Structure 1
Amino acid sequence: MSTPNTVKNILSIAGSDPSGGAGIQADLKSIAAAGGYGMAAISALTAQNTRGVSAVHVPPAGFLLAQLRAVSEDIAIDAIKIGMLANAAVIDELGGWLAGIRTAAGSDAPAVVLDPVMVATSGDSLLDAEATNALRRLFAHVDVITPNIPELAVLGRGPVAGNWEQAVAQARSLAAEYQVLVLAKGGHLEGETCRDALISPDGVLFEVASPRLATANTHGTGCSLSSALATFYARGGDWAQALRQAKAWLSEAIARADELAVGGGHGPVNHLAALWDGVRPAPARDPLAHWWEAIAGIRAGIDELAFIRRLKDGSLAPADFEDYLGQDALYLRSYARVMSRASELAPTTEEQRFWAGSAASCLEEEMTLHRGRLADQVPEPSNATTAYLNHLRAGSDDYPVLAAALLPCFWIYQDVGKRLAVANHPAHPYADWLATYSSVQFDDVTARAIELVRGVHARADGSTRAAMWRAFEASSVHELDFFAQTAADAPGAGDGVGSITAGVALPVG
């Protein structure tokens, strides 16, 4: 095996996460951050992102064995981390290989850490009874098991622990049954402190606690902790010290998770934050610029609508424009009330004045254009109008979420208005309308709205920021639907669009 002065070689056996936050990808980052050389044998392929898993492909068990043999026949392995194992055939094949290399290596056998991937975030079981029994057989070939609270309950054949004392008792029972160390993890429990403990059949060997961090970006924490634990143990030979080091590193990675901008769901931890500090200054990324980039497909879809193209060149039928204005009149009346609600919730006088002034602008200035063209004939709300307003009202008790949900009506209208303004001229049939949304005044109001929401985002914790993004994204989708509801974009209208989502792949959520 390797000498004490060499970099330790750590093998991860797990599934692949193409979004990079969990599985093999998280393992390799964690191993590197902990000072090891990472290797990987892939047990499953997934189609997933920060919002969830949509598909899983499990290669034949024999192919996993071929990967393991290729690595072990050439490279000294100092520690092994095991993650996702999808079925009994894969687990048993792995068990046979582990038994062989551990027997052959004797006292130099690599340490093995098993992170049992058994229960989804939803609470659904990921392994059938046959695979669960095979996983129990695998315990004979591992040193440490690192289940989360729901997985600990399954392995311990008991209820899900509701407090730390129950979790420790379950972990000790499991350790005694299989003569292994069990890492009890408090991440799923409540409280301001998160506790983790290495537990043997005799009780707690070592416990470490850290403040619970407020962030939604915790995707892959189980994978990351177990990989770091294996790596630090390979480097130092002491499980307690390895846990102390792994927990300290992971706490920092979670604390800095919000520095990343990965996806719109539960994002990853910042595995390599300390490394990046050493090689370059960490740029302060504007989160709202990232939001704007993320809805580029939605904005492109709006530009491709027949309604927008015909509005720009003046060929839009007056009836189509009046249909749009009628729905816009309905929308703006309720939009003004929602902005008034934002003014009530806003924590600062500046924000209160902005939302109140914007509400008044809706009713006093923009509605003047509607009344002049519609002669007070306002239709019933369409499905698109109703859906958009229901979305805004749903966040009317949460100020940060509401502020984010209101922003696209400013920002997208200004963006569209600037391009429409290029074609505007005094004889344009909709010149007054185009001028309203391409004016210096509207630019200023939009800039203030963006800056205001940026400030709200800066004050928010990780979970609130994630909720703000989801609200902003959903409003942007509603903007597309709202523009696309006239007859100009109806299926069969002959414009080549034929769908409200033409030219854009809508985000999930």
Structure 2
Amino acid sequence: MSAPGVSAVLSIAGTDPSGGAGIQADLKSIAAHGGYGMAVVTALVAQNTTGVREVHLPPVDFLRAQLDAVSDDVRLDAVKIGMLGTASVVAEVADWLRTSAVGVPVVLDPVMVATSGDRLLEADAESAVRALLTLATVVTPNLPELGILAAEPPAADWPSALAQAGRVARAHGVTVLVKGGHLESGSSPDALVSVRADAPDGVDVVELPAERVRTRNSHGTGCSLSSALATLIASGETVAVAAALAKEWLSEALRRSEELDVGRGRGPVNHFAGSLGTLSPAARLRAGGGVREPVTSSWWRDTETVRRQTERGAFVRALADGSLAPERFDAYLAQDAIYLDGYADVLAAAALTAPDDQERAFWADAAVQCRDAEMQLHLSRLSGRAAARPWPTTVAYLDHLRTAVATGSHLRVSAAVLPCYWVYRDIGLLLHEARHPAHPYDDWLATYGDAGFDEATERAIGYAERAAAADPDGVPAAGSAFYRSTALERDFFAAPVERDLRELGVPPAR
């Protein structure tokens, strides 16, 4: 058995001694999502960030001995399958699944070609991998791998990829998480394609849009995403929610990959960017007979680095000392107005799931205040001077909040909206202290530090804490939602000064 409250996830895959892909990446991803990771090695791969040098395959009977040693002793909550290499290995894994992992969710990452272009699956094993699809819960191919699974050329565009995924899903009765990372576009969409008899063409498509993260550090992204997905499913999330959360996590891991500086080639993602530690708060609750500190306090502590980045960011510093260019301030206000409009809808959704009339009234009043007072304050100051096209950071933040609403979890929504209270209050106090009569933004800074907002923040913290106590199983995902919102607060403040305003659609100052 694994530790109480921790999902046990087995990775069946090849190795990567440089640590960015394969089993090493799987174990990091599992730990980042609060799971207990185990590993059965299918292949010993001599590789690094620049490519694969050599592959050694242990005997198949030794592979089976590893599999049996784990399943004879440990309860499995999910299985992630990566590199298999040969038809005989595929057949052995399939036989083990049929006999020793019945009913266990299986996420299959059909590793066929490495990011570097190196072949990792023998050509005669392709049909065996297609047969393995019937034993999988979800398969996570990139576009070239999806083409191989469909026995067709790779899709050249997103609609073709969705159609191809539909054919694979119907043919094998498996849900396909199709990934658009290989497309040449500014976005990086994913989609869940699953069989549904009453849907058009017999398949249901749930798209997961996202802005493309511009980085060369893509080593092991497929391994990392699939093992994160397996861990989230093992923890009780639906496949749709798990896919959305895993994609959010991977985007953040890509954004912060430059912090690692590993290798001369395609570096790895930052697996622990945004994670809340290997033992989730829910696990600590069960294992320790209580929580040593409030859950929300642990969330606040775990986001300290991100919050310091926000406070020390160029936008906050320039707004505080008065050096912020007017067109950049107006651009920020325009985006904040767009954000507030969507945020009000999320607050209204929080009211619908609140457990009592008092809390329902709190969230409903906040939604009204957000749209009728705060947003109008922004628009009146702008008087149409800034562009109103939503920026990628604005879209990403609202998509994150809407994903929390879609889960139906009041705890998740409470955690996701909380940084807009808590972080904003702290930034507001910092800015309020910077005001003086000659400050070019003194009238705006005067709106910060409001006693009513301070009281509302404390109530929002209390409601999140109460929701966590009522739903301890939901605490890990809620903590991740809180962290993601905190990171998006940072990115939202940073965008007006770190991005070229012409790129973001803001006309130059006259």
TM range (shorter): 0.5 to 0.7
Secondary structure (helix, strand or coil) at the match of 2:189 reads strand
Provide the C-alpha distance between the structure 2 equivalents of 1:122 and 1:256, rounded to a whole number of angstroms: 21
Residue number in structure 2 paired with 1:210: 210
Residue number in structure 1 paired with 2:414: none
| 1:125 shift after superposition | 4.5
Runs of 4+ in 1 over 4 A off after TM superposition: 122-125, 279-284
Residue number in structure 1 paired with 2:244: 244
Residue number in structure 2 paired with 1:274: 274
Looking at CA atoms only, which structure, 1 or 2, has the larger radius of gyration? 1
Indicate how the Cα distance of structure 1 residues 151 and 84 shifts in structure 2: closer, same or farther if over 3 A, else same. same
| 1:225 equivalenced with 2:225 (yes/no) | yes
Deviations 1:415-473 (A, max 9, x none): xxxxxxxxxxxxxxxxxxxxxxxxxxxxxxxxxxxxxxxxxxxx99xxxxxxxxxxxxx
| 1:187 equivalenced with 2:189 (yes/no) | no
Provide the C-alpha distance between the structure 1 equivalents of 2:165 and 2:52, rounded to a whole number of angstroms: 28
Indicate how the Cα distance of structure 1 residues 250 and 62 shifts in structure 2: closer, same or farther if over 3 A, else same. same
| 1:151 shift after superposition | 0.6
| 1:132 equivalenced with 2:131 (yes/no) | no
Provide the C-alpha distance between the structure 2 equivalents of 1:49 and 1:219, rounded to a whole number of angstroms: 9
| 1:207 shift after superposition | 1.7
Secondary structure (helix, strand or coil) at the match of 2:208 reads strand
| 1:59 equivalenced with 2:58 (yes/no) | yes
Secondary structure (helix, strand or coil) at the match of 1:162 reads coil
Q: Contact 2:51/2:116 (CA < 8 Å) preserved in 1?
A: no
| Amino acid in the other structure paired with 2:163 | A
Deviations 1:282-329 (A, max 9, x none): 999xxxxxxxxxxxxxxxxxxxxxxxxxxxxxxxxxxxxxxxxxxxxx
Secondary structure (helix, strand or coil) at the match of 2:176 reads strand
Residue number in structure 2 paired with 1:41: 40
- TM-score, structure 2 normalization: 0.52
| 1:130 shift after superposition | 2.6
- TM-score, structure 1 normalization: 0.52
| 1:121 shift after superposition | 3.8
Unaligned runs of 5+ in 2: 196-201, 278-300, 310-497, 500-510
| Amino acid in the other structure paired with 1:245 | L
Provide the C-alpha distance between the structure 1 equivalents of 2:82 and 2:212, rounded to a whole number of angstroms: 24
| 1:11 equivalenced with 2:10 (yes/no) | yes
Question: Percent identity of the aligned residues?
Answer: 55
| Amino acid in the other structure paired with 2:302 | G
Q: Contact 1:13/1:42 (CA < 8 Å) preserved in 2?
A: yes
Deviations 1:234-268 (A, max 9, x none): 11241001011101111100010011110111000
Once the two structures are superposed, the pairs formed by residues 2-401 of structure 1 within 5 Å of their partners are 6-103=5-102, 109-121=103-115, 125-201=119-195, 202-275=202-275, 278=302
| Amino acid in the other structure paired with 2:193 | I
Secondary structure (helix, strand or coil) at the match of 1:229 reads helix
Q: Contact 2:50/2:116 (CA < 8 Å) preserved in 1?
A: no
Provide the C-alpha distance between the structure 1 equivalents of 2:2 and 2:31, rounded to a whole number of angstroms: 17
Provide the C-alpha distance between the structure 2 equivalents of 1:244 and 1:274, rounded to a whole number of angstroms: 15
Deviations 1:128-185 (A, max 9, x none): 3431122122122111111100011111121211111010000000011111111110
Q: Contact 1:205/1:240 (CA < 8 Å) preserved in 2?
A: no
C-alpha RMSD of matched pairs (Å): 2.5
Indicate how the Cα distance of structure 1 residues 122 and 273 shifts in structure 2: closer, same or farther if over 3 A, else same. closer
Deviations 1:390-436 (A, max 9, x none): xxxxxxxxxxxxxxxxxxxxxxxxxxxxxxxxxxxxxxxxxxxxxxx
Indicate how the Cα distance of structure 1 residues 89 and 186 shifts in structure 2: closer, same or farther if over 3 A, else same. same
Q: Contact 1:2/1:78 (CA < 8 Å) preserved in 2?
A: no
Q: Contact 1:9/1:37 (CA < 8 Å) preserved in 2?
A: yes
Aligned length, in residue pairs? 281
